[in-house]
């Protein structure tokens, strides 16, 4: 048992999640490992189907019934969560770890008033009475910036706008003062201006309370805005990780390079956005060797054979590309050109 207070907040080791489907066994998460330091915000980036949402759900233990963790460890402050039963996990969910979802309309119980939904966590976990829980909920509503909380307490979710509902979700996630919050694309479903507000709110909360974040998104600029570390996922695997600025500025994996190139970037206006050709790999029967090789411009013989392991690079970085120097070359060439 590690001494509390030291070591990473969250440590995921070689996590495998499989989903039973009509087409066969889907390897949604295939050997993913990462760490989140205390008070840090880690962004997980990838396209739809890369396994990032499944990773989050596996961490919290709220996988859909067809999915299960087949191997790996998820250590929250040293304690492995994978072997725990649902009843034990319920004690962790809320007070120690919580989650924010993508679609606030469907993520809130439509027949329950908003206030009690926020108060439910403290009510269940902290053993306080309903009145005190309600007070706490009002407090939280003010904290996340919901105007006129006394009146809104008794409102239903459908009476709120998208941005407000997301604030409610954040309030719910904060309610029991968890140590880490998992965010599953919380701003994807919102308008751009609202997105910005929510992101600032999250980043601010992270700073003030020292809560750790795991922030899943497909949106690179968002990661840059909120997180200190980033991990890139492709085809159910982690392909690159490291400090945000460095990874985005100097990617060391062709996929990350492709992502960066295809993202609109108003600082360095390029002539054209370059999409990544091809389509995502089948998770039922992924390609041999490196999963990205069918779409990779730098692919060589060994890429078709070996499934590259995650290799550590200096500066707290890691990459799963056998020929990651090619990225450096490509970037230099690009920047040298007028």
Partner 1 sequence: MSFVGRRLLQLVPVAVGVTIVVFFMIHLIPGDPALTILGIHATPKSIAILRHEWGLNRPLISQYWLFLDRLLHGNLGQSLIYGVSASSLIMQRLPATLWLIVYAALIAIVISVPLAMIAATKKDGVRDQVVRAVPLLGLGMPTFWVGFLLLTLFGVNLGWFPVGGYGTGFLGHLHYMFLPALTVAIALAPVVIRSLRASMLSVLGADYITTARSKGVPGLRLFVRHVLRNAVIPAITVLGINIGFLIGGTVIIENVFSIPGIGQLMINSIFQRDFPVVQGVTLVFAVLVVLVNLLADMTYASLDPRVSFDR
Partner 2 sequence: MIDPVVGGQFLAPGGGPVVVLDRPPPDQSTPRRRTWYRQPALVAGLTITIIILGMAVFAPLITHYNPIAQNLNATLQGPSAKHWLGTDELGRDIWTRLLYGGRVDLRVGFIAVLFPFCLGTVLGSLAGYFGGWTELVIMRMVDVVVAFPFYVLLIALVFVLGPGERSIYIAITIVGWVSYARLVRAEILVAKRQEYVLAAQAGGLSNLRIMGRHLLPNVISQSIIYAMSDIVQDILAIVTLGYFGLGIPPPTAEWGSMINEGQNFLSTHWELTTIPGIAVVIVGLGLSLIGDGLADLLRPGQS
State which of residues 113, 246, 262, 313 lies at the interface with partner 2 (CB under 8 A).
262
Binding to partner 2 in span 42-61, by CB under 8 A: 47-49
21 forms part of the interface with partner 1 (CB under 8 A)? no
Based on CB atoms, which residue is closest to partner 1, 62 or 263? Answer: 62
Kindly report the number of other CB atoms within 10 A of residue 111's CB atom. 6
99 binds, among partner 1, partner 2, none (CB under 5 to 8 A by kind): partner 1
92 forms part of the interface with partner 1 (CB under 8 A)? yes
Q: Say how far apart CA 117 and CA 30 lie, in whole Å.
A: 35
State which of residues 143, 209, 218, 243 lies at the interface with partner 2 (CB under 8 A).
218
DSSP labels, 91-156? HHBTTTEEEE-S-HHHHS-TTS-HHHHHHHHHHHHS---HHHHHHHHHHHHHHTT-SSHHHHTT--
Q: Say how far apart CA 78 and CA 71 lie, in whole Å.
A: 17
Kindly report the number of other CB atoms within 10 A of residue 302's CB atom. 13
121 binds, among partner 2, partner 1, none (CB under 5 to 8 A by kind): partner 1
| Partners of 234 in the β-ladder | 237
| Distance in Å from the first CA to the final CA of the chain | 57
90 forms part of the interface with partner 1 (CB under 8 A)? yes
Collapsing DSSP states into helix, strand and coil, what is residue 61? coil
Q: Say how far apart CA 320 and CA 309 lie, in whole Å.
A: 5
Of all residues in the chain, what percent are helix, strand and coil, respectively (each to 5)? 35, 25, 40
State which of residues 36, 44, 108, 232 lies at the interface with partner 1 (CB under 8 A).
108
State which of residues 44, 107, 259, 322 lies at the interface with partner 2 (CB under 8 A).
259
Binding mask 145-184 for partner 1 (x = CB under 8 A): -----------x-x----------x--x--xx--------
Q: Do residues 214 and 36 lie in contact, with contact meaning Cβ atoms separated by under 8 Å?
A: yes
Q: Which region, judged by CB under 8 A, interacts with partner 2, from 71-79, 84-92, 124-132, 275-283?
A: 275-283
158 binds, among partner 2, partner 1, none (CB under 5 to 8 A by kind): partner 1
93 forms part of the interface with partner 1 (CB under 8 A)? yes
Q: Which region, judged by CB under 8 A, interacts with partner 2, from 75-83, 118-126, 239-247, 276-284?
A: 276-284
The per-residue b/e assignment along 158-169, b for 16 or more CB within 10 angstroms, e otherwise, is: eebebbbbbbbb
Binding mask 179-208 for partner 2 (x = CB under 8 A): ---------x--------------------
Which residues lie closer than 8 Å to 295 by C-beta, 6 or more apart?
A: 258, 276, 277, 278
Collapsing DSSP states into helix, strand and coil, what is residue 201? helix
110 forms part of the interface with partner 1 (CB under 8 A)? yes
Kindly report the number of other CB atoms within 10 A of residue 224's CB atom. 16
Q: How far is CA 152 from CA 117, 131, 158, 164, in A?
A: 12, 16, 12, 10
Based on CB atoms, which residue is closest to partner 2, 27 or 136? Answer: 27
306 binds, among partner 2, partner 1, none (CB under 5 to 8 A by kind): none
Helices marked H in the chain: 52-60, 86-92, 104-107, 114-125, 130-143, 149-152, 162-174, 192-209, 220-226, 244-249, 254-262, 325-336
Q: Which region, judged by CB under 8 A, interacts with partner 1, from 56-64, 211-219, 284-292, 299-307?
A: 56-64
Q: Shortest distance, CB of residue 136 to partner 2, whole angstroms?
A: 35
State which of residues 10, 81, 101, 235 lies at the interface with partner 1 (CB under 8 A).
101
User: Which residues contribute to the site for partner 1 (CB under 8 A)?
Assistant: 57, 60, 62, 64-65, 86-87, 89-95, 98-99, 101, 103, 106-112, 120-121, 124-125, 156, 158, 169, 172, 175-176
User: Which residues contribute to the site for partner 2 (CB under 8 A)?
Assistant: 22, 47-49, 188, 218-221, 258-259, 262-264, 273, 275-280
């Amino acid at each position: 048992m590690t001494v509390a207070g030291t070591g990473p907040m969250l440590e995921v080791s070689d996590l495998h999640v499989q989903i039973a489907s009509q087409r066969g066994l889907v390897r949604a998460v295939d050997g993913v490992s990462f760490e989140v330091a205390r008070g840090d915000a880690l962004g997980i980036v990838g396209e739809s189907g890369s396994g990032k949402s499944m990773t989050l759900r596996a961490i919290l233990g709220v996988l859909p019934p067809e999915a299960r963790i087949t191997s790996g460890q998820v250590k929250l402050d040293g304690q492995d969560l994978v072997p725990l039963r649902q009843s034990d996990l319920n004690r962790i969910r809320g007070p120690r770890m919580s989650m924010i979802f993508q679609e606030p309309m469907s993520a809130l119980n439509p027949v329950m008033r908003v206030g009690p939904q926020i108060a439910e966590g403290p009510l269940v976990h902290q053993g306080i009475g309903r009145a005190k829980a309600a007070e706490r909920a009002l407090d939280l509503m003010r904290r996340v910036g919901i105007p006129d909380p006394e009146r809104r307490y008794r409102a239903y979710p459908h009476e709120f706008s998208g941005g407000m509902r997301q604030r409610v979700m954040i309030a719910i996630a904060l309610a029991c003062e968890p140590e880490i919050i998992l965010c599953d694309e919380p701003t994807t479903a919102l308008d751009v201006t609202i997105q910005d507000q929510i992101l600032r709110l999250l980043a601010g909360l992270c700073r003030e309370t020292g809560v750790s974040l795991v922030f899943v998104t497909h949106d690179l600029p968002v990661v840059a805005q909120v997180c200190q570390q980033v991990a890139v996922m492709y085809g159910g695997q982690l392909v690159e990780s490291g400090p945000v600025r460095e990874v985005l500025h100097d990617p060391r994996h062709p996929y990350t390079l492709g992502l960066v190139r295809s993202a609109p970037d108003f600082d360095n206006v390029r002539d054209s956005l370059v999409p990544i050709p091809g389509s995502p790999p089948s998770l039922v029967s992924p390609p041999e060797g490196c999963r990205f090789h069918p779409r990779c411009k730098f692919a060589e013989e060994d890429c078709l054979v070996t499934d590259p392991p995650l290799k550590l690079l200096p500066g707290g970085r890691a990459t799963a590309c056998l020929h990651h120097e090619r990225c450096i070359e490509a970037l230099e060439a690009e920047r040298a050109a007028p």
